[in-house]
């Protein structure tokens, strides 16, 4: 851990990430990872299309006789909306759209989902998470003092779609994950694994008050071993095979479907907007926009100077954040004063609770060795 403040000379990641390291040039390990591992194996061009085409043909062939040949999760955000467009309109796939409603959809998020569905004549299945269980687990994570309080929502979104895929014999799940806007993936100090259900259950046991009878649960080991190896579910990051440029994708979706952009990544969820815009900068001292902007800097979509200007001021006004603070507190069944007391309470990390980090780390390192992962992992 660095004892003094330092910021990368190439992107804008800094020592608010306590695991960051720098070389003699002042380049951080995220930049080095991008240039040494991601960039040489990433082909968002005609080569990428040629390489993905045999898989697309396989999906179409195996999907003959079925109403849909693949499954796509949609949140209303840019990545999931654009990959839906690419899958159907550019590659000719016949996706079933899947949405998991955790109770925090923004009005704009709901509207954008509908515009994509209606605009392309897609079929949509929605799974609504039991709100009382969602609320109880979210309250438990607030009370735990860990930084990644978006774990319950993240876990529900991940688990719901893969449980549905396995149950309904979908072999191909297309996601909006991509290198273009996500090549800088935060360390565990910022974002711990939402799929570590050992941690989830320990925190809920300590701070929850009701059983999670229907809450979607799929840990990383079940996903990687049972769903992938036994059930044959395969995840495809289609956007890594095409020229996915954020501004151009927004323009294209807006012109074709009336889709509307958000101030920041993941803001289709009001909870995620609150968590990223207020909770982590205020309580834990880091701003996840650093990773988002740095990804765009590395992929040539934003200059470093522009990123520095954007990160210098909050995304939302103090008045808006005060309103969101009250909204979140009330929705969770707390007073504003109660949520403020939690904000002032001692900070904890995932290491303060039972976890499955050893096995997850081992699996990730093996994936790195065989080329299935290309992330900085710590």
How far, in Å, CA of 77 to CA of 75, rounded?
5
Q: What is the mean pLDDT of the chain?
A: 94
pLDDT, one tens digit per residue, over 298-341 is 999 999 999 999 999 998 899 999 999 999 999 999 999 999 99
pLDDT band at 2 (very low <50, low <70, confident <90, very high): very low
Q: What is the mean pLDDT of residues 174-180?
A: 97
Q: What is the mean pLDDT of residues 99-124?
A: 97
Q: What is the mean pLDDT of residues 158-163?
A: 96
Pick left, alpha or beta for residue 244 (phi over 0 → left; psi -120 to 50 → alpha; otherwise beta).
Answer: beta
Two tokens, residue 315? 């995304």
pTM: 0.93
- The separation between CA 210 and the C-alpha centre of its own chain, rounded to angstroms, equals 27
List, as one string, the DSSP characters of 171-204: -EEEE---STTTSSPPPTTT---TT-HHHHHHHH
Contact 234, 55 (CB under 8 A): no
How far, in Å, CA of 277 to CA of 315, rounded?
7
More reliable by pLDDT, 180 or 228: 180
Is the pLDDT confidence value at 128 over 90?
Answer: yes
Two tokens, residue 207? 């701070």
pLDDT at 367: 57
Is the pLDDT confidence value at 104 over 80?
Answer: yes
CATH code for the domain defined by 41-357: 3.40.50.620
How far, in Å, CA of 164 to CA of 294, rounded?
34
pLDDT at 1: 44
Q: How many CB atoms are closer than 10 A to CB 164?
A: 19
pLDDT, one tens digit per residue, over 204-263 is 999 999 999 999 999 877 888 889 888 999 999 999 999 999 999 999 999 999 999 987
Is the pLDDT confidence value at 357 over 70?
Answer: yes
Helix (H) / strand (E) element for 99: namely strand 95-101
């Amino acid at each position: 851990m660095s004892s003094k403040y330092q910021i990368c000379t190439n992107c804008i990641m800094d020592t608010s990430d306590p695991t960051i390291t720098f070389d003699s040039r002042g380049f951080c390990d995220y930049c080095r990872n991008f240039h040494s591992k991601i960039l040489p194996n990433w082909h968002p061009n005609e080569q990428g299309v040629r390489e993905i085409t045999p898989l697309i043909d396989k999906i179409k062939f195996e999907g003959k006789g079925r109403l849909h040949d693949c499954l796509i999760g949609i949140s209303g955000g840019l990545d999931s909306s654009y990959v839906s467009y690419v899958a159907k309109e550019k590659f000719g796939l016949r996706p079933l759209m899947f949405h998991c409603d955790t109770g925090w959809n923004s009005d704009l998020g709901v509207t954008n989902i509908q515009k994509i569905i209606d605009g392309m004549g897609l079929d949509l299945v929605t799974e609504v998470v039991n709100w009382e269980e969602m609320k109880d687990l979210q309250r438990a994570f607030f009370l735990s003092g860990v930084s990644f309080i978006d774990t319950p929502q993240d876990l529900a979104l991940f688990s719901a779609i893969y449980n549905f895929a396995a149950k309904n014999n979908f072999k191909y799940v297309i996601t909006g994950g991509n290198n273009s806007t996500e090549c800088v993936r935060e360390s565990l100090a910022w974002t711990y694994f939402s799929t570590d259900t050992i941690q989830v259950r320990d925190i809920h046991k300590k701070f929850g008050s009701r059983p999670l009878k229907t809450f979607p649960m799929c840990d990383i080991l079940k996903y990687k071993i049972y769903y992938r190896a036994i059930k044959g579910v395969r995840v495809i990051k289609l956007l890594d095979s095409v020229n996915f440029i954020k501004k151009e994708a927004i323009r294209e979706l807006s012109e074709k479907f009336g889709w509307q952009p958000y101030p920041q990544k993941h803001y289709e969820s009001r909870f995620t907007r609150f968590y990223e815009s207020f909770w982590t900068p205020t309580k834990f001292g880091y701003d996840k926009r650093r990773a988002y902007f740095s990804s765009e800097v590395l992929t040539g979509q934003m200059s470093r100077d522009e990123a520095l200007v954007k990160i210098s001021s909050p995304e939302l006004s103090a008045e808006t954040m005060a309103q969101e603070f009250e909204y979140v507190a009330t929705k969770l069944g707390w007073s504003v004063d109660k949520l403020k007391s939690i904000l002032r309470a001692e900070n904890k990390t995932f290491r303060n609770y039972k976890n499955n980090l050893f096995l997850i780390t081992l699996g990730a390192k093996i994936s790195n060795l065989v080329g299935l992962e290309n992330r900085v992992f710590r």
